[in-house]
Structure 1
């Protein structure tokens, strides 16, 4: 188990460029299974979860060639379907939640798709019903082996249909879209997710020859085609990383420039941070955060009531940044309520912040009230363990702002979503050391 040793309380300065988007990468990489032709993908983040999926695709028989940092070609012209029924696949697929999205492309192109119950962050229940109900609506037969938690869907040829999703699941929508592009007839997906990363997937599929309309809305109409071809694609920058660096700048009173952020795809993110009192300046396609030497003050609502920051499906605020917001609030001027609606275990890391001296009242598994210190009382260094990707980075930001030397164990969780985070932070002045696990 790896560890970070962090000497906190230092101001940072400089430029930092966000990596390619993790959540987009997991969708886009699965889509290479839809064609036998070559696909080139650029700006792929070098992180554990993405590398696991690339390794899984390679074992499936996809020919993968790294052509430059973050750039690969993929050719799925000789897919090894026998691997899907192997014990090795059951082990490999279980280690990554994003592996669920290979099922839609495999079902569409080969008539069958299997997956063990996927892993991922332990942030509460994350249902797979939306995925499989979508496949069943398209005509697939579903089976589930309870003994080894193994799911399967099979169909000779999927048939287009109308469906209303029970939740606007991003991965569920992506999986169903990838299945529907090769189905016979027209598929309408209502209550579809419409995140920028899902839009990216739809645009890529259209370049491959799919016929998807309504991209960017919550109603997608897909006319099935017989086959798809190759294409080139570039990942968007990771909006969660962008939000993390905004929080880091505020908490450490640092002047930072986040470069090439694709402003038009950030949605509510800049506005939410501005409501927390953080100055977020647009400079071309960069974000500039000046040093908040006098701190930052939370805005109240017009009637004077306490600010509530809540997550919602896009274009609402992403749940992946609520952990960052919660940490930022610990040193704000004023108080706010954080309401995490989607995952019931995501706020449980607050006990570690309370140990550091933060004033947080955990109201229930979904809500926490934070009373900001206004930097009058600095967070205290401590030893902690990263429970998941986003909480891990939130604790890292807290440690970089705290007085003294902190230790964070289980940093493999952070590495799952952030590329070379210690090297990149050292480049802007952070005092952070990585100690590899045994």
Structure 2
């Protein structure tokens, strides 16, 4: 189990380039299964979760060739579908939540798809009902083996388009249903569809392959089925969660940092939400410039003077993946803020580690925490802690980089799941961080 040792309390300076978007990559990689032709994908992040999915595709028989840093060629013309019934597949699939999205493409192209109950972050209940209810609406039969925790869907006579209203705007659920519906007979209409940038990118890629999807960017998608898809080349967006992480890091460490090539148009409410904490964010072309906040930053109030409340919501609302960062940054703000994590009931349970570091946080219930900022009058204290999940892990790393003294973070594989070569990139802007195996 890996460990980071961090000497905190240093101001950082320089430029940092965000990696390719993890959540988009997991969807896009599954979409290569929809065609027998070559698909080239650029800007793939070199992180554990994405590499696990690439390995799973390799075991399934996808021909994979690395073309350069972050660029790969995929060709799914001779798949080994027997792998889906193997013990190795049960092991590979259960270690990665994103593996659920291979089911839609396999169902569309081969009339069957299987997956063991997938893993992922332990941040609360994460139902799969949306995925399988969507497949059932398209005409697939569903079965679940409770003993082996194994899901299966089959449509030997093909899928048929249908109108469906999703119970929740699940990003991965919408992606899975869209990938199944692009080759279904007739027209599929999906209402209350997720419309995150990741999903928009997937739809744009599928349309470039010959799919007929309209309504991209809205919560109403209309899909006219086609009989086959062709190859394409696609470039993944910069990771907006990483961009938000670097904004938080700059504020907490009073650092002057430029985040390059961020694709501003796809950031949504992220810059606005950080500005609510008093953080100065300047747009310079397609870069974000964060000046050194040597005088601190002050939380805004609502127009009526009431305490600021920052909560998550489906896109175009504020992404839940950045609430942990917002919470950490608020610990050194001037003023107080209520953080409301609506979507996952276990995501705030890492705050006890911040309290141990001296943060003033009241955990009201599993979904809400009130943060009373220090205004840098007292620094967080260095400590030893363990990373419970990807987003909590990067939040604790930011806290450690701002704290006085040397902190230790165990279980950093959780951070590696979502952040590429993070210690080298942080060192390049002056961070004192070492990896100990």
TM class, shorter-length: over 0.9
Q: Counterpart in 1 of 2:41?
A: 41
What is the distance in 1 between the residues matched to 2:344 and 2:273?
A: 20
The CA deviation at 1:377 is 0.7
Q: Which secondary structure state, in structure 2, belongs to the residue aligned with residue 147 of structure 1? A: coil
The CA deviation at 1:361 is 0.2
The CA deviation at 1:89 is 0.3
What is the distance in 1 between the residues matched to 2:194 and 2:46?
A: 26
What is the distance in 2 between the residues matched to 1:302 and 1:207?
A: 45
The CA deviation at 1:219 is 0.2
Q: Counterpart in 1 of 2:129?
A: 129
- Mapped pair 1:387 → 2:416: no
Matches within 5 A, 1:17-416: 17-156=17-156, 157-416=158-417
What is the distance in 2 between the residues matched to 1:84 and 1:341?
A: 35
What is the distance in 2 between the residues matched to 1:295 and 1:78?
A: 58
Q: Counterpart in 2 of 1:432?
A: 433
Deviations 1:105-125 (A, max 9, x none): 000000000000000000001
Which aligned runs of 4 or more in structure 1 are off by greater than 3 angstroms?
Answer: none
The CA deviation at 1:332 is 0.1
Deviations 1:33-87 (A, max 9, x none): 0000000000000000000000000000000000000000000000110000001
What is the distance in 1 between the residues matched to 2:217 and 2:434?
A: 42
Q: Which secondary structure state, in structure 1, belongs to the residue aligned with residue 82 of structure 2? A: helix
Q: Which secondary structure state, in structure 2, belongs to the residue aligned with residue 260 of structure 1? A: coil
Deviations 1:193-221 (A, max 9, x none): 00011000000000000000000000000
What is the distance in 1 between the residues matched to 2:334 and 2:303?
A: 17
Q: Which secondary structure state, in structure 2, belongs to the residue aligned with residue 136 of structure 1? A: helix
What is the distance in 2 between the residues matched to 1:428 and 1:94?
A: 37
Deviations 1:132-181 (A, max 9, x none): 00000000000000001000000020000000000000000000000000
> What residue ranges of structure 1 are gaps of 5+ in the alignment?
none
Q: CA RMSD in A?
A: 0.3
What is the distance in 2 between the residues matched to 1:87 and 1:405?
A: 44
What is the distance in 2 between the residues matched to 1:51 and 1:91?
A: 15
Deviations 1:312-356 (A, max 9, x none): 000000000000000000000000000000000000000000000
Q: State TM-score, norm by structure 1.
A: 0.99
What is the distance in 1 between the residues matched to 2:344 and 2:303?
A: 29
Q: Which secondary structure state, in structure 2, belongs to the residue aligned with residue 83 of structure 1? A: helix
Matched residue pairs, number? Answer: 436
Q: State TM-score, norm by structure 2.
A: 1.00
The CA deviation at 1:91 is 0.5
What is the distance in 1 between the residues matched to 2:76 and 2:277?
A: 47
Q: Counterpart in 1 of 2:418?
A: 417
What is the distance in 2 between the residues matched to 1:148 and 1:319?
A: 31
Q: Counterpart in 1 of 2:6?
A: 6
What is the distance in 1 between the residues matched to 2:52 and 2:155?
A: 28
What is the distance in 1 between the residues matched to 2:102 and 2:130?
A: 15
Q: Which secondary structure state, in structure 2, belongs to the residue aligned with residue 222 of structure 1? A: strand
What is the distance in 2 between the residues matched to 1:262 and 1:50?
A: 21
Q: Which secondary structure state, in structure 2, belongs to the residue aligned with residue 53 of structure 1? A: helix
> What residue ranges of structure 2 are gaps of 5+ in the alignment?
none
What is the distance in 2 between the residues matched to 1:387 and 1:267?
A: 27
Deviations 1:212-265 (A, max 9, x none): 000000000000000000000000000000000000000000000000000000
What is the distance in 1 between the residues matched to 2:361 and 2:378?
A: 14
